[in-house]
A = this chain, B = another copy of it.
Amino acid sequence: MEGMPRDGSQARARLRAAALELYRERGYDETTTAQIAARAGVTERTYFRHFADKREVLFDGEAELRAILVDAVAAAPDDLAPLPVMVRAFTAAVPLVIANRAVAQQRAEVIAVTPALRERAYAKTASLTDALADALTARGITRPTARLAAQVGMAAFDRASRSWADDPGLDLNTLIAQAADEVLALGST
């Protein structure tokens, strides 16, 4: 194309949209990166300049969530126990989660039926968990305990998210707090 705008973020956004559409229409395995690029009006080579691989296009914007979580951990009161700190962090992210609900659900549907994408999703979650563990470590918590708290907090958030996905009428903030309570109740009959 002759007069293509030189602003890369536009092409990037079109690639994101095209990929989500195609993955939903034809399935991930039946979609080629060339098709994604074509629908976005660029070449395959340009696709790989914006995204590291065929999966990554579905996992953009993770940085924003990470920043919110990490900042919330850093901002929590000094004397707060690890699990309540996690609750605060995820609570801080609730507005973003709610804002992205519509697209997130479409993505989740594709990911659910595609092993390769589930694998990437696990890796992204693990990456977020690492970031949370680092943030807890910065609060003076020992690294092994920080890792444990981050993983447990993420498990609680996962539990809350699923309930909320089933019934978006529920209050996600409340669900997060309840999930944390549920963790502490796992030791008692």
Stretch at the interface among A14-22, A76-84, A90-98: A76-84
Contact A188–B148 (Cβ < 8 Å):
no
How far in angstroms is the closest Cβ of chain B from A10?
29
* Candidates B123, B147, B163, B186; contact of A81 at CB < 8 Å: B186
Closest residue on chain B to residue A53 by CB atoms: B116
Contact A187–B182 (Cβ < 8 Å):
no
State the oligomeric state as a number of copies. Answer: 2
How far in angstroms is the closest Cβ of chain B from A90?
14
A residues at B contact (CB < 8 Å)? 79-84, 115, 118-120, 122-123, 125-126, 144-145, 147-149, 151-152, 154-156, 158-159, 162-163, 179-180, 182-184, 186-189
In the assembled complex, 30 residue pairs joining A and B whose CB atoms fall closer than 8 Å, in A order, are A81-B189, A83-B186, A83-B187, A84-B187, A118-B123, A118-B126, A119-B120, A119-B122, A119-B123, A122-B125, A144-B159, A144-B162, A145-B186, A147-B158, A147-B159, A147-B162, A148-B155, A148-B158, A148-B179, A148-B182, A148-B183, A148-B186, A151-B151, A151-B152, A151-B155, A180-B187, A183-B183, A183-B187, A184-B184, A184-B187
